[in-house]
Structure 1
Amino acid sequence: MPPREGPARFLGGDVQQKVHELSVATQGKGLFDITPAVTRWVSAQGLTTGLLTLFCRHTSASLLIQENADPDVRTDILAYFERLAPEDPRRYVHSIEGPDDMPAHLRVALTQVQLSIPLMGGRLALGTWQGIYLFEHRCHSQNRRIALHLLGD
């Protein structure tokens, strides 16, 4: 039997793929809520079921799904990572990009650069108190790029 032409079948519908690059301007270290921008883009794609993959295209910033209700959570996360990977040039060999670069690489190694979130009923399946954050690990402002890939029907 010859291969079927046209879109592949996926959960009873035709598979569609959508891609986008989200640009996020940071103001130095912090957790930047990208949930509104991501959900706007996903909603505009018109899919109801699928999987969204987010990929941070950097080695000194990462992605987190974290509580979005109490800002003290973000404060505590930042303080914890400051203790875990401090900016102390005596601790690291790599220093060519400044004293905040090697700690940033360590923080990325302990977090993640990719997230996968199911799409159910046309909405991301985030919990009540969950938000999507770009976790900036460098001290100075950066322009970060997040690749979004949505697969579904």
Structure 2
Amino acid sequence: MRQAIARMEVQTTGRGMVDITAPIDRWLASIKAVEGLLTLLLRHTSASLTIQENSDGNARADLMDAYDRLVPEGQTWRHSLEGPDDMPAHVKSALTGVHLSVPVVHGRVDLGTWQGLYVFEHRTAAHRRGVTLHYIGS
């Protein structure tokens, strides 16, 4: 049994989802991962991690629209110093989460056919988001 830890930065362009599946698989290959568990932690509170549809972008767009309906901007929030999109972003992040655990099989994340790993940016502006990767396995 062995472990490996790394941090990766993900550049977002504002609200939306950034597919991080390929860079994670490249990292797993670089450490010669075989079988194990990959834990991901997004080191932010106004974006989140999700496993989502990787084929039809409309599914991700619909999901973003649904989150905007659930937590719209324009409400009165006590935490508002960083702008009208900040507190809604925190709520969306709490709903989705900042942590994932994914099995690694044959050196790759073991996702379904139509699944990908995404950083889900909830803020309007572009951000650099840090993700900590922790692999444990063979």
Shorter-chain TM-score bucket reads: over 0.9
Uncovered stretches (5+) of structure 2, i.e. residues with no partner: none
What is the TM-score when the length of structure 1 is the normalising length?
Answer: 0.88
Distance 1:121 1:23 in 2: 25
Aligned alpha-carbon RMSD (Å):
0.8
Moved over 6 A (4+): none
Distance 1:128 1:25 in 2: 25
Match of 2:88 among 84, 103, 114: 103
Structure ID, larger Rg: 1
- Superposed counterparts of 1:103-122, under 5 Å: 103-122=88-107
Q: What is the deviation of 1:69?
A: 0.6
Paired residue for 1:55? 41
- Superposed counterparts of 1:25-104, under 5 Å: 25-88=11-74, 90-104=75-89
Distance 1:121 1:134 in 2: 24
Work out whether 1:18 is the aligned partner of 2:4: yes
Distance 1:76 1:54 in 2: 25
What is the TM-score when the length of structure 2 is the normalising length?
Answer: 0.97
Q: What is the deviation of 1:91?
A: 2.7
SS in 1 for 2:64: helix
Distance 2:108 2:10 in 1: 22
How many residues are aligned here? 138
Uncovered stretches (5+) of structure 1, i.e. residues with no partner: 1-14
Identity among equivalent pairs (%): 49
